[in-house]
Chains A and B, each alone.
Chain A
Amino acid sequence: MNAQTITTFIRNWERWGGTWEQWDNPISARLALLRYLKEQHRTEILSWQVESLPIPGLATALNDAGFKLFPPDRRILNPDLAMGLTSADAALAASGSLALTPAPGRSWLPALIPISHITLLPTSRIYANMASWRQDWRQTRPGESVRTLIISGPSVSDDIEMHKHYGMFGPRQVHLILFHDETSA
Chain B
Amino acid sequence: MIPNQRTRHTLHRLGNLTTAARDAAWARVENAEALKQRAIHARDRVLADLPANLEQLEKAARSHDVNVLHANDAQDANRLIIQTMRELGVTDALRNHHPLLDEIQVDRAAKANAIQLTPLHPGDYLAQLANERPGHPIWPVGHLTVEAISATLQKKWRIPETYNPDHLASTVRMPLRRALLRTHTAILGVDFASVEDGVFVLMDNDGHNASLTGLARHVILLLSIEQVAATLNDLDALIQVFALSAWGRPLPAYVTHLQCPAPPEIDGPRTIHLVLVDNHRTDIMDQGFGRALRCIQCGACHTVCPVYEQIGGGGYANSPYTGPIGAVISPLLLRSDLGEPQAYLCANSGHCQAACPMNIPIPDLIHAQRRRLAKTRPPKEDKRYFSIWRRLISRPRLFFPFIRRNLEK
A79 to B215 CA separation, bound complex (whole angstroms): 13
* Nearest-CB residue, chain A, relative to B254: A151
- Of the listed residues A77, A78, A163, A168, the one surrounded by the most CB atoms of chain B closer than 10 A to its CB is A168
Beta-carbon contact of A162 and B197 below 8 Å: no
| A157 sits at the interface (CB 8 A) | yes
Which among A27-35, A54-62, A103-111 touches the partner chain?
A103-111
| A150 sits at the interface (CB 8 A) | yes
Least distance between A146 CB and chain B CB atoms (Å) = 4
| B363 sits at the interface (CB 8 A) | no
Beta-carbon contact of A158 and B236 below 8 Å: no
Interface set, chain A 44-74, CB cutoff 8 A to B? 72, 74
Beta-carbon contact of A152 and B253 below 8 Å: yes
Chain B residues, Cβ within 8 Å of A152:
249-255
Beta-carbon contact of B236 and A159 below 8 Å: no
Least distance between B22 CB and chain A CB atoms (Å) = 13
Chain B residues, Cβ within 8 Å of A185:
none
- Of the listed residues B13, B123, B145, B253, the one surrounded by the most CB atoms of chain A closer than 10 A to its CB is B253
| A155 sits at the interface (CB 8 A) | yes
A163 to B123 CA separation, bound complex (whole angstroms): 12
Main secondary structure of the interface of A (DSSP, over half): loop
Least distance between B120 CB and chain A CB atoms (Å) = 8
A106 to B17 CA separation, bound complex (whole angstroms): 39
Beta-carbon contact of A104 and B181 below 8 Å: no
| A165 sits at the interface (CB 8 A) | yes
Given contacts A158-B139, A159-B126, A159-B141, whether A145 and B211 have CB atoms under 8 Å apart is no
Chain B residues, Cβ within 8 Å of A151:
253-254
A130 to B64 CA separation, bound complex (whole angstroms): 23
Interface set, chain A 103-151, CB cutoff 8 A to B? 103-104, 106-109, 112-113, 130-131, 134, 145-151
Least distance between B52 CB and chain A CB atoms (Å) = 22
Beta-carbon contact of A112 and B211 below 8 Å: yes
**Binary interface encoding of chain A residues 22-40 relative to chain B, with 1 for a CB under 8 A from any of its CBs, else 0:** 0000000000000000000
Beta-carbon contact of B169 and A157 below 8 Å: yes
A16 to B205 CA separation, bound complex (whole angstroms): 11
Beta-carbon contact of A146 and B197 below 8 Å: yes
Q: B122, B207, B250, B266: which contacts A102 (Cβ < 8 A)?
A: B266
A131 to B279 CA separation, bound complex (whole angstroms): 34
A134 to B215 CA separation, bound complex (whole angstroms): 25
Contact surface of A with B, Cβ cutoff 8 Å: 16, 72, 74, 77-79, 95, 97, 102-104, 106-109, 112-113, 130-131, 134, 145-163, 165, 167-170
Cβ contacts A to B, 13 pairs, < 8 Å: A79-B181, A109-B215, A146-B232, A147-B258, A147-B262, A149-B214, A149-B254, A162-B17, A163-B146, A165-B166, A169-B180, A169-B208, A170-B207
Query: Closest 6 interchain pairs by CB?
Result: A170-B207, A169-B207, A163-B165, A165-B169, A159-B123, A79-B177
